[in-house]
A and B are shown apart, each in its own frame.
Chain A
Amino acid sequence: MPLKESEAIVLRTYPMREADLLVTLFTRLEGKVRGVARSAKKSKRRFGGALEPLTYVRALYEDRERQELTRLDSCEVLESPLATEVTYARAVALGHVAELLDELLPDREANDAIFRLGLAVLGALRGPAIWMPVTYFELWLTRLTGFLPDLSECVACGRDLNGNRAYYHALADGLMCPDDKRLASSELSPESRLLAAQMFRAPIEKFAGELWPRERGADLRKFLLQILQRHLEKKLVTAGMLEKVSG
């Protein structure tokens, strides 16, 4: 079969046999693809640092007849997370992006919008600030995967929530007005809803210069993660680690 060439983001790798790596790539051409990088653990010649998670690469791979796993021929690094300092917070944020993409994307289904989102967020995660890129990524990913409910009306009665208080609950399908909120609901602040509206209208670069302490948009991130984890029916490993990141 002919070699395929595509831009890709490396999502994660697993050791396989003695010296091989099982690699999950998010390719622009075909979406999520799993393949084997032969001898990648032993010899760094062909792959170098290209198989580090969240490396943006140009990948050459070959599908094999009647085999699910592709054969990864080579990867050329286009941009590496190792080019700038990898702090603990940044490593957790990068891991979070990788885990969400890996868990949410179906195999072999191209999605250019999510690919471009991934690249934009990786660019924003070059620096030490993580909360803005993480918020932007979670918000847009929830929307692009079709899980984001309407933020402007109550899911129970349809009342307009603009200018009113809004609540969310792990078992509710969207935001609720004060009259319909469930027991132990949490509030999604008007500031965070405004932030979401702004993020839908502007590219990520527009928010780069703003001050983003951890508290800003924290309720929005919690709301989004609740939706995503409910859909995945599992807790995300990196979500717990993000909670512990300070600053």
Chain B
Amino acid sequence: MTARLGYALAAVVGAVATVAGIAGVLGATWSFRAPALVPLGGLELSIDPLAGFFLAVVGLGVVPASIYAVDYMGGDARGLFAYLVLVVSMAVVPLAANVVTFALAWESMSLASYFLVVEGGAGPRASRDAVDAGWVYALMAHAGLAALLAGMLTLTAATGSTRFADWMVAAPALASEARLGALVFLAAGFSGKAGLVPLHVWLPRAHPEAPSHVSALMSGVMTKLGVYGLLRAGFEWLGVIPAGWGAGLLVVGVISAVVGVLYALVERDLKRLLAFSTIENVGIVVIGVGAAVMFRAADLGPLAVLAVVAALYHTVNHAAFKGALFLGAGAVVHATGTRNMDAMGGIIKRMPWTAACILLGALAISALPPLNGFVSEWLLFQTLLQNTEIARPELNLVFTLGLAGLALTGGLTLACFVKAAGLTLLALPRGEGAACAHEAPVAMRAGMAALSALCVALALGPTAVLPALAGVARSIVRASSDTAIAARGPLTVHVSGDFASLSTVTIALALAAGVAATVVVLSVLGASPRRRISETWGCGRILQTPRMEYTATAFSNPFQRVFDFLYRPLPAVDIDAHPESRFFVRTIRYRNETRSVIDDWLYGPIAAAMRVATGGVRRLQSGSANLYLAYILAALLVLLVLA
């Protein structure tokens, strides 16, 4: 009972965060100081439009996830405290107004999610995978924190203040070395949390291991706080940064998007597939951020605002549809007892509500009109297409690459989610768990339905949302009042005057009218209403079994062939034949594993070097207390001499 109340409390916190965040977006300001609470500047919180936006994203993610958890955890109190800490610290990160507050919130967010990953939620003891994932996660999170603190302390040293507001004032006069140093460290720290390639390695390991409502928050919300940091640092703390950095960000975004979706495509584990797709979506958001940096460096304020708006819209969209997908996947995994899509199938008949939410999420994430993913990707396309306003050929080339990469990502995402939805939900069940699956309890359905409704609202209401987002974007770009984006009338959004326009409500109505027209056409032409239920056609074989279905591995095979330089697959066929004759085959085992280029080529050598280095250090560790005292004395002497 206490556990249920705890999750209800988290939902209330989320609702408050949403309301406060929306107030912040609309221009409310508020601040809070408690200098005595912690040393080094004290606790300090404040809200501005950008903080308000990310606070609202946190709230919008937390409410459905917490409602879902009421039934998902079924009164199990394990991990509740860590969950509450995670929720509160995620809400505090965008509000933090000085280094100490920020570092405390950031670290407690990492630690709380680490515990939730290791805890896993399944079984009495943490699984081996979860512990390994937690280890990689803790390592990357702390390397990221170290980089962030290095960057922040560089700025503190250069400006003599730990308050973010002072940095903003001092930014234009910042020495170029301090700016460069801070930029490198902050970019590395924040992109690690956002899960950008090549700092993403922890993400597909850690996100799937956590309970599904936590996965939804980690993927939908926590990665976005990395994006928040990139925006804060890139637009406020460091002043106007050169266009080259924007180009770099855009390229990193494109690589993350394409690599993320390509690894998602060959994944058989449903939750890992969703985690890889998070890397892709953060990549799409960062493409927008990079474009904004370039436009701003070229003094094209309205276009920079447009790019930030596209990035922010995709941020909240991804929180909505990825949340719905993770919660839906969690319900399916809960019901079938497996995360392997090759053992799922037929869920749509056994869990109709869950299936509908997953299908809607798949449509939205594939950016199909008229859903919300389409709106933000369309905006981003229109932004990138206007790059010719910058008269620098090398940057135009980067933008062209961005356009092509974004389009490829769009197509591959469609393929990926046809696979995820089709193989999970449709056809006959391919495993016992899937065959006896039951619909999720009511609170879980309510959580998924809330996020699906959010997707639909964001799809049909861009005219209401976009002006507010433009306000947020203007507050960080500091452009003059004119913007490239405007709502004309209640339905249509215009980009850069007559460059492009969109009305999702009209599209939705047109599609509905189209379906109605199709029904009318059929009846006018006298189509036969007769329908016979029969077996699937199968070349004359007698009985259809699930073994005849296409599997996840088979579905992604064309992609594996086309992009084999990235997957470097290791197909292996083991045939166990009878000793008397090789024609009497007893078993055939087929394996087709893909490898990660980045794990092997980047982290492999680093891990090997670390092992050698730590092996050397181990010689210092004799276990003798006398020797350790000698070390301390020696260190003290050296420090005294240096001082």
The answer to whether A binds B is no
> Taking beta carbons and an 8 Å cutoff, which residues of A are in contact with B?
none
